[in-house]
Structure 1
Amino acid sequence: MTASTPKSNHDAIADNTLDASMPRHPESRLQSEWLFLYDKLPPDQWFSNDYVYKTSFWLSIHADIRKRQHVLIQISDAYHAGDIEWLEYRSQISSRINQYIFKLHQHHNIEDTGYFPQFMRMYPQLKAGFEILDRDHVHLDTLLNELQVLNSRLASSNTEDKALVEQLHQRLMDASELLSQHLTDEEDLVIPILGLN
């Protein structure tokens, strides 16, 4: 009869990796080893009484961004479907695009200069995850700058310009696709940090 040997640290780590949580969406770029805080505070607890006072402000900002983007796409789709005329489209979408861009730049600036560096100091093992989010911000800045140029053209256009509307729509869709992934990846990293600290 042979005595059983205790598991090595390597074996324990391998077992933990098999049990590691997966992020909330299949397109996530987050590695399972970055989700150790997510394991401790999964999404079904983010609004619980124990954590909501720490997590709700960040989640509400993201909800506002998603809502603004949804409204912009609805207006664009309504114009494409012929449900609204050119002048109504222009008056509805132009100021909303300006506010959308302003809110995103404001939120990203606060993250880039304050929160993300602080979070990386607290959890250096999450640096690679925050670098993904930083690269998203750079890409989003490019898309938002292009959107701003197109929107300025729209605001000064007195005649219907379907090509311009199509360009605006495409930039909105590009931003929507990237933001959808970015916001969810960000929440999976950030909300557990906020809730547990």
Structure 2
Amino acid sequence: MTASTQKSNHQDRADGEVSGPTPRHPDSRLEADWLFLYEKLPPNQWYSADYVYKTSGWLNIHADIRKRQRILTHISDAYHSGDIECSEYRAQLSPRIHQYIFKLHQHHSIEDKGYFPQFIRMYPQLKSGFEVLDRDHVHLDSLLNELQGLNSQLATSEAEDKALGGQLHQTLVDVSVLLSQHLTDEEDLVIPILGLN
């Protein structure tokens, strides 16, 4: 949470009224009506002693996903800036992408089949919020399938292919942009549920 959003969970509007809690991602798709639990358990309390035993598992999984994404992007950036050769790029990137895709599919499957339906039963008023997250999963699956195809080409290519590297890099960027928003929106909905139940 940035310093500006940490100082208050509410934003003062020009008319003097106080609006609801502000999601952490600037482009959040979450509506104020869905943030009633987030207001009760804001992000600055997620790791507090009262809640950490309920919230840390989910947050740690997301931290691992973000770390893997940063590493992949760093390797791709290094190749495109000429800091590493094609053979090193392939050796470092290809197995990591494979593991990254596997972990993301595994995480989303558990959410789609287990957690999200359970959370909707607990809080039916959040159904529309979880539908946003479900649509993200569909979009992410499409991007990950594209990434997997490009990665397979990279793993089996014998010669350097700059165009392939460019496509792979752009797909990594696209995944990263969507994941940044998705993970933050998901946490803003899910972590308060975990902490307060």
Same fold (TM over 0.5): yes
Cross-structure match for 1:105 = 105
Partner of 1:27: 27
Match of 1:40 in 2: 40
- Which of structure 1's runs of 4+ aligned residues deviate more than 4 A? none
* Deviation of the 1:181 alpha carbon: 0.1
Specify the structure having the higher radius of gyration (Cα). Answer: 1
Any idea what SS the aligned residue of 2:21 has? Answer: coil
State the distance in 2 between where 1:127 and 1:33 align.
11
Q: Cα distance, 1:22 vs. partner?
A: 1.0
Tell me, in whole angstroms, the C-alpha distance in 1 between the residues paired with 2:96 and 2:172: 12
Partners of 1:142 and 1:26 in 2: how far apart? 24
Asked whether 1:117 is paired with 2:121, we answer: no
The offset of 1:25, in angstroms, is 2.1
Matches within 5 A, 1:1-197: 18-197=18-197
Cα displacement (A) at 1:26: 1.6
Question: Take 1:127 and 1:80, find their aligned partners in 2: how far apart are those partners?
Answer: 42
Q: Which runs of 5+ in 1 are unaligned?
A: 1-16
Aligned residues: 181
Percent identity of equivalent pairs: 76
Q: Deviations over 1:92-111 (max 9, x none)?
A: 00000000000000000000
Deviation at 1:49, TM superposition (A): 0.3
Q: Aligned letter for 2:179?
A: L
CA offsets per residue over residues 57-100 of structure 1, 9 Å max, x none? 00000000000000000000000010000000000000000000
Matched AA of 1:142: S
SS in 2 for 1:20: strand
Gapped runs of 5+ residues in structure 2? 1-16
- Worse overlay, 104-113 or 22-31: 22-31
* Partner secondary structure for residue 35 of structure 1: helix
**Deviations 1:118-167, CA, capped at 9 Å, x for gaps:** 00000000000000000000000000001001100100001000000001
- Structure 2: distance between partners of 1:73 and 1:183: 17
Please name the residue that 1:5 is paired with. none
Partner Cα separation in structure 1 for residue 53 and residue 29 of structure 2: 28
Q: Distance in 1 between matches of 2:28 and 2:157?
A: 40
Measure the CA separation in 2 of the matches of 1:93 and 1:78. Answer: 11
Give the superposition deviation at 1:55: 0.2
Cα distance in 2, alignment partners of residues 195 and 23 from structure 1: 17
Name the SS for the 1:111 alignment partner.
helix
